[in-house]
């Protein structure tokens, strides 16, 4: 029996090297289609993607948004609109997943083989994240399942700041969702999918695939991204706290405000060094609890295979 095909949709505003690295990695992993919606002009990436038979590139310029409504101000809304557009076009894959340019699907088996093992009536399959440690990009902290032990484990891993973190992650724990194609009235959001206004029944984590999230690669990169994330991105004020305020919970937005008010950029650096930086001590603490993942994503080899003639 033929194995199912799968594809990725992503709305991206990033350097051409990052875009092509993202596409090449997943083409090597077996993606049948990569749908890239360019949120800003990027001739190098657009030309390279257009030339690849398994990539589809859409420039989200004024003409595009005239056809699809006014351009939403929030990038999260633009992501959802574009992901839904990719899903509703003529189906070229059996499963589609929305991802960001800094997320990578990692598995020991072919992804198609894992998807082929799902029951025929399964409409979605959730992939849980692991978050990179800022260093050489080969070490990740694994997802801690929700349960009575998560809080204690997190506090043990991060003695100063763990009480304010959900599972020790700076970004989402929800992961991303594979959705079976050819369903009616589907609307994709960043972490979920809806049919006819109703959320599709959620599925358990799809074991065998991890979402490697390269959220912070270095102190300089994290600090450069910090202000935008604090105002409009993954640290913004309207996201939920790690626990209810009655139980001492706090949003990342509020936590970072508190740190800055008390210690400024030095406080942010102390947070980064404990929670994000790739240090022997953090590796050891993670390994002791079976939460250290070591993976070489080998972007250079993927780029050389799928975009050999592109100079970046």
On whether both 109 and 228 belong to a single domain, the answer is no
On whether both 168 and 261 belong to a single domain, the answer is yes
DSSP 245: G
Question: Are 54 and 32 a contacting pair, CB within 8 Å?
Answer: yes
d(CA 236, CA 13): 19
d(CA 268, CA 237): 17
**What is the value of pTM for the model shown?**
0.94
Both tokens of 116, joined, read 């082929």
On whether both 183 and 265 belong to a single domain, the answer is no
How many of the other CB atoms lie within 10 Å of CB of 111? 24
Question: Are 46 and 71 a contacting pair, CB within 8 Å?
Answer: no
For residue 111, tell me if it sits in a domain: yes
Question: Are 30 and 4 a contacting pair, CB within 8 Å?
Answer: no
On whether both 155 and 265 belong to a single domain, the answer is yes
Both tokens of 4, joined, read 């199912």
On whether both 149 and 180 belong to a single domain, the answer is no
Query: Residue 45: which of 37, 275, 254 has the closest Cα?
Result: 37
For residue 282, tell me if it sits in a domain: yes
On whether both 168 and 87 belong to a single domain, the answer is no
Query: Residue 218: which of 182, 181, 272, 176 has the closest Cα?
Result: 272
On whether both 167 and 179 belong to a single domain, the answer is no
Residue 93's domain comprises: 6-128+175-215
In DSSP terms, 140 is beta-bridged to: 132, 293
Owner of token pair 């340019």: 101
d(CA 215, CA 292): 16
For residue 93, tell me if it sits in a domain: yes
Query: Residue 206: which of 4, 1, 2 has the closest Cα?
Result: 4
On whether both 58 and 182 belong to a single domain, the answer is yes
On whether both 229 and 287 belong to a single domain, the answer is yes
Chain center to CA of 9:
12
- Count of domains observed in the chain: 2
pLDDT 10s digit of each residue in the chain, 312 long?
589 999 999 999 999 999 999 999 999 999 999 999 999 999 999 999 999 999 999 999 999 999 998 999 999 999 999 999 999 988 799 999 999 999 999 999 999 999 999 999 899 999 999 999 999 999 999 999 888 899 999 999 999 999 999 999 998 899 999 999 988 889 999 999 999 888 898 777 899 999 999 999 999 999 999 998 999 888 998 888 777 776 767 889 999 999 999 999 999 999 999 999 999 999 999 999 999 999 999 999 999 999 998 987
Question: Are 128 and 143 a contacting pair, CB within 8 Å?
Answer: yes
On whether both 115 and 243 belong to a single domain, the answer is no
On whether both 55 and 111 belong to a single domain, the answer is yes
On whether both 192 and 265 belong to a single domain, the answer is no
Question: Are 108 and 193 a contacting pair, CB within 8 Å?
Answer: no
């Amino acid at each position: 029996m033929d194995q199912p095909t799968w594809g990725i949709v992503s709305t991206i505003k990033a350097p051409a090297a990052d875009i092509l690295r993202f596409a090449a990695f997943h083409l090597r992993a077996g993606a049948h289609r990569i749908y890239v919606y360019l949120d800003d002009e990027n001739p190098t990436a657009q030309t390279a993607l257009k030339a690849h038979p398994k990539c589809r590139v859409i420039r989200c310029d004024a003409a595009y948004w005239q056809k699809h409504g006014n351009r939403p101000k929030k990038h999260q809304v633009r992501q959802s609109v574009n992901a839904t557009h990719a899903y509703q076009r003529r189906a070229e894959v059996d499963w589609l997943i929305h991802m960001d340019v800094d997320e990578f699907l990692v598995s020991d088996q072919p992804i198609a083989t894992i998807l082929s093992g799902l029951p025929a009536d399964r409409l979605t399959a959730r992939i849980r994240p692991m978050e990179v440690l800022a260093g050489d990009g080969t070490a990740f902290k694994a997802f801690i399942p929700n349960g009575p032990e998560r809080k204690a484990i997190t506090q043990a891993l991060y003695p100063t700041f763990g009480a304010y973190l959900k599972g020790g992650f700076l970004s989402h724990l929800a992961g991303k969702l594979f959705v079976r194609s050819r369903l009616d009235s589907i609307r994709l959001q960043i972490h979920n999918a809806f049919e006819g206004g109703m959320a599709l029944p959620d599925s358990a984590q799809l074991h065998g695939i991890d979402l490697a999230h390269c959220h912070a690669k270095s102190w300089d990169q994290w600090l450069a991204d910090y202000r935008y994330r604090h105002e409009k991105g993954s640290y913004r004020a309207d996201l939920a706290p790690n626990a209810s305020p009655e139980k001492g919970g706090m949003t990342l937005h509020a936590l970072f405000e508190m740190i800055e008010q008390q210690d400024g950029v030095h406080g942010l650096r102390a947070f980064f060094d404990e929670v994000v930086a790739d240090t022997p001590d953090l590796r050891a603490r993670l390994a002791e609890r079976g939460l250290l993942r070591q993976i070489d994503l080998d972007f250079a080899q993927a780029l050389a295979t799928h975009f050999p003639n592109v100079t970046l």
